[in-house]
Structure 1
Amino acid sequence: MPTITETYIKYAQLFPDKFAIETATEKISYRMWSNRVNQTANWLDSLKLSNQTLGILLPNGISFLQLFTGAATAGWTSVLFDLKWTESELQNQLTLSLPSIIITTSELYPKVKHLHPAVLLWEDCLQETKQASINRSTVAEGNLPFYMGFTSGTTGQPKSFIRSHNSWVASFDCSRVDFQMNADDHVVIPGALIHSHFLYGAVSTLYLGGSLYLLEKFSPSKTLSLIESQSITAVYVVPTMIAALLAEGRSSDKPIKILSSGAKWEEHSKQQIQRMFPRFSMYEFYGASELSFVTVLADKDYTRKPGSVGRPCHQVEIEIRRSNSKLAQLNEPGKIFVKSKMVFLGYLDKSEAGEHTGHRRIHSIQDENGWITVGDIGYLDEDGFLYLSGREKNMILYGAINIFPEEIEKVISAHPYVEEVVVIGIDDPYWGQVAAAVVKGTASKMELKRFCRQHLSSYKIPRHWFFIKEMPYTTSGKIARPQVKEYIESKVTNH
C-alpha cells in the first residue's frame, strides 16, 4: 500500500545527488535523505514500544522533517507541538494525544521535561539514528495513521484529528493535477512546519521528487531573496504572509506559483500582487483539517468568479444540502458536504483520555455513503464554482435571523483604509446576538458605517466598533478569533 515516504528510495536511485532539502546551514541530497529517513525508522523500531505515538517539539529544519517522515516510515503517528504554546496549552494537547515519547532539543527541554515521563533529547537520538541501518525491510501500510493534529471544532475546545497515509497520498494527486507540481519544482516553505499547510507543502514536494527550501522562521525579505537568487518555481503562503511580502515593496518577473490557504485571500491583495509580480500564478484553495483539499481557485478564474473559492479539486465531489438533508438548488445556500479519498480517519475518542495505549478508538464523522461535513455553509453556481456564505460555528443568531460574519468582513475589508477586520457575535439582551467589528486601519467608525449602509442590510451593520493596531494571530497565520472575542467582550463589559 502507498505511504507518504514510499518514493524516497526510488529517487535515491534515480537521482542520488539531486538536492532534496536546503536550509540556511545545510543542504542534503536524495540519497542522504533516503538514508536518514530509513535510519530514523529503524531506530524507532528498536525502541519496541506498543504505543507508537511520537511527540515532536522541534524548531523548523531538516531534523523536524527527518523525525516526522522517519516515524511515518516506521508506522508511527506523529503529534506536533508548537514552540509558542504555553505550559497549559502543551499539557492540554499532551492529555489529548498521549504520546509514548517526546523528542525535543536541549534548549527546549526545560519547557516540557516536567510534563511527560519520557522526554528525549534530539541531540542524543540523532547519534543513535546514525548507528542504525540505512536499509529498510518492512513497509508501513497505507491505511495506518501517521499524523495527529489539533482543531478547535465548534466548541472552541481542541480535538485531535487523525490522518492516514492514504489520505495524503491521494492529496499528492491534487498537487500534480490541480497545481501542476512535479519533480522539476523548487519550492519555498517559509512558514512553521507545525502548521499542516506548510508541512504538507514540504512532504508533498519530497514525495514528488522536487527540491525544498526551508526557512527557520518566516521572513518576507529572506523569502523574496530566495525567489530572486534561486530557481524557485513555487511558494506556499497564508494571506498574512502575502501582505508582508507586498509591504517589502519589491517586484519580480519570475514565473512562480503561489499556493495559498488558511484564510480567504482578499481581492485587493490579489490585484496588488499581480501588479508587483506579473508572472506569478495564484492558486487559492479551500479545505479543512478534516477534509484536506476541497476546491481550488486559479488566477485565470478569480476575475470572472469574484468571491468564489473555486472548483472541486481532483476526484472531489461536493453536495449542498438543506436543513432537511435534501439537495439545494444552484445558488441556494446550504451545508457543504464533501466526498473524496483525502478526508481524515476521524477524531480521537476523548472518552479514552488517560489510557496510555497505541490502540485508541477513532471516531469517524463520515456518513454511510462516505460524505462528510465540517459545518461550513455555501452554494454552487451553474458552472460548479463554490461560494462560502460562512462558517456555521461563526454564525451570529440575530433574533431569528442567521448572520454570517464573513459576509460583513468582505464588505468592510473592501474599504481602502481597512487593512484587516474581524466580525464577532456578542450577546445582546434583546436580539440574542449582535455583530461587533474589530478593525485594523485608519478608517473612522462613521466612514465604515456609511460604507456598510451602501452594501449591507441594516441588521448586518455592526453595532459595536473597535480599532486596534495589531490583530492577534494563530501560529498558522490565521486571525485568532477566540482572542478577538475575548477582547471585544472585555471592552463591552467595561462599558
Structure 2
Amino acid sequence: MTIIERLQQHKDLEPHKMALIVDDIQYTYGELYDAILSVGINNTSRIVNLTQSKKTLNTKILLIQELSFVEQLTQWLGALHKGNIPMVCHNEMDTAYVDELARVIAYEGVPPLADFGVLTSGTTGQPKPLWRREISWRDFFDIQNDIFHTNKDTKIFLQGSFSFTGVSNMVIASLWAGGTVVTTSSLRPSRWMQLIEEYNVDHIYALPTKLRLLVRHCKSKLSSIKYIIAGSQVLDRQLMEQLQHICPDMEFILYYGASELNYITYCTGKEWLAREGTVGRPFPTVKIAENDNVIYVTTNYRIEGIPNTYTVNDCGYIDSDG
C-alpha cells in the first residue's frame, strides 16, 4: 500500500478524524486527502524536466519553495500522487541556490527508481540532494512507529520545516499510523506549550536545541506528554532531568540516524543515563558492524545509489551488550 493509498484508507474509514493541526487551522483526514487531490503546480515551485524517466517522459522534479507547512506537505503528497518527484527546499535557500540546485539535478539526473528527493541539512556546507524510493520510508513506518509508540491515538507535536528529513519522515509516519500531527509556524516556546496543552498532545518530536528552549520557558507541568523523541548525540543529563521534571509521566526515546540511512539505533532515557553517551541498539532489521572504530550500517531503508552496507564515517564502538 502506498502512502497515498494509506491516506485514502484513513479518509474512507474515519473522514472526520483530525489529521493535522497547524496553529488554529484543523484538517481532518477527509479534508487533507481532498487537498492532496486538488493540488496543482503553482508559481512558487521550480520545475526540473527529466528527459529520461522510469514512468513517463513527462515526469517532473518539483522543487517546492513554499514556506507554509500545509503547502509543503500537500504539494509533496500531491506530487507523489501525480507521479512527479517532489523535493521541499529549505526556507532559507535563496533563488540563486535553488537555480543552482535545479541545474545540478538537470545535469546529474535522478536514479531510475527515485520517488522523491530530500536535502541534507547543510550544516557541513550547502544542502545536497539525496534520492529515495517511497518504500525506503513506507516499509519502515510500522517498525519505527512500534519503537516510538505511535498509533492512531497519538497526538504528536513538532516544529520546523517539512524540508528537514526528520520532520517530514515523522509527519508522514504519524499520518501513516492514523495519528494527529500538531505544529505551528511560531518560534515561541510559549506558543508550543499552549498547543500542547490545548490539544492534549502526548508525543513531542524535537531537536535538543528546541527542548532546551522548552525547558527555559516552561513554568508549569506538561502532564499529557508520554513520550519525547529526540536525537541522542547532543543530549545531556541536565536537560533530560529538567524535561523529566516538567513532563513527569514522560519516557524518552532517543535515536541515532542519518539522512542517507534512516533510523539506525535507539535507546530509552533510562538506558542513556545508565550508560551516558550510548546511541543504543539497532532498530529491527538494521545491522551494525565496526571496523577501525568506523560504524558500518546494513539496511534496506536507505537512499538510492549507495550499497546495502554503508558508512557515513561516524565513529564508535560496539560494547559487550551489543
Given the two structures, how large is their TM-score scaled by the length of structure 2?
0.86
Give the superposition deviation at 1:41. Answer: 7.9
Give the superposition deviation at 1:96. Answer: 2.5
Which of 311, 318, 321 is matched with 1:380 structurally? 318
What is the aligned-residue identity percentage? 25
* 1:155 to 1:56, Cα distance in 2 relative to 1, 3 A: closer
State yes or no: 1:190 paired with 2:176: no
CA displacement, residues 445-464 of structure 1 (integer Å, 9 cap, x when unaligned): xxxxxxxxxxxxxxxxxxxx
Larger Rg: 1
Q: Is the 8 A contact 1:60 1:215 kept in 2?
A: no
* 1:297 to 1:69, Cα distance in 2 relative to 1, 3 A: same
The match for 1:276 is 246
Q: Give the letter for the 1:246 counterpart.
A: V
Alignment of 1:323-362 (within 5 A): 334-345=293-304
Give the superposition deviation at 1:181. Answer: 0.7
Alignment of 1:24-423 (within 5 A): 24-40=23-39, 50-98=58-106, 144-151=113-120, 156=125, 158-250=127-219, 251-261=221-231, 263-322=233-292, 334-345=293-304, 364-366=305-307, 370-384=308-322
Stretch deviating more after TM superposition (277-286 or 78-87)? 78-87
Q: Give the letter for the 1:62 counterpart.
A: V
Query: For 2:185, what is the secondary structure of its paired residue?
Result: coil
The match for 1:107 is none
2 CA distance for matches of 1:154 and 1:25?
32
* 1:153 to 1:70, Cα distance in 2 relative to 1, 3 A: closer
Given the two structures, how large is their TM-score scaled by the length of structure 1?
0.57
* 1:23 to 1:154, Cα distance in 2 relative to 1, 3 A: closer
2 CA distance for matches of 1:235 and 1:201?
11
Q: Is the 8 A contact 2:266 2:283 kept in 1?
A: yes
Q: In structure 2, list runs of 5 or more residues that go unmatched.
A: 43-48, 50-55
The match for 1:140 is none
* 1:156 to 1:61, Cα distance in 2 relative to 1, 3 A: closer
2 CA distance for matches of 1:186 and 1:249?
20
Q: In structure 1, list runs of 5 or more residues that go unmatched.
A: 100-142, 323-333, 346-363, 385-495
Q: Is the 8 A contact 1:54 1:77 kept in 2?
A: yes
2 CA distance for matches of 1:158 and 1:24?
28
* 1:218 to 1:5, Cα distance in 2 relative to 1, 3 A: farther
CA RMSD of aligned residues (A): 2.7
Q: Is the 8 A contact 1:178 1:314 kept in 2?
A: no
Stretch deviating more after TM superposition (186-195 or 32-41)? 32-41
Q: Give the letter for the 1:3 counterpart.
A: T
Q: Is the 8 A contact 1:18 1:30 kept in 2?
A: yes
2 CA distance for matches of 1:144 and 1:219?
40
Q: Give the letter for the 1:302 counterpart.
A: W
Q: Is the 8 A contact 1:293 1:313 kept in 2?
A: yes
* 1:158 to 1:57, Cα distance in 2 relative to 1, 3 A: closer
2 CA distance for matches of 1:154 and 1:224?
28
Aligned residue pair count: 306
Q: Is the 8 A contact 2:204 2:225 kept in 1?
A: no
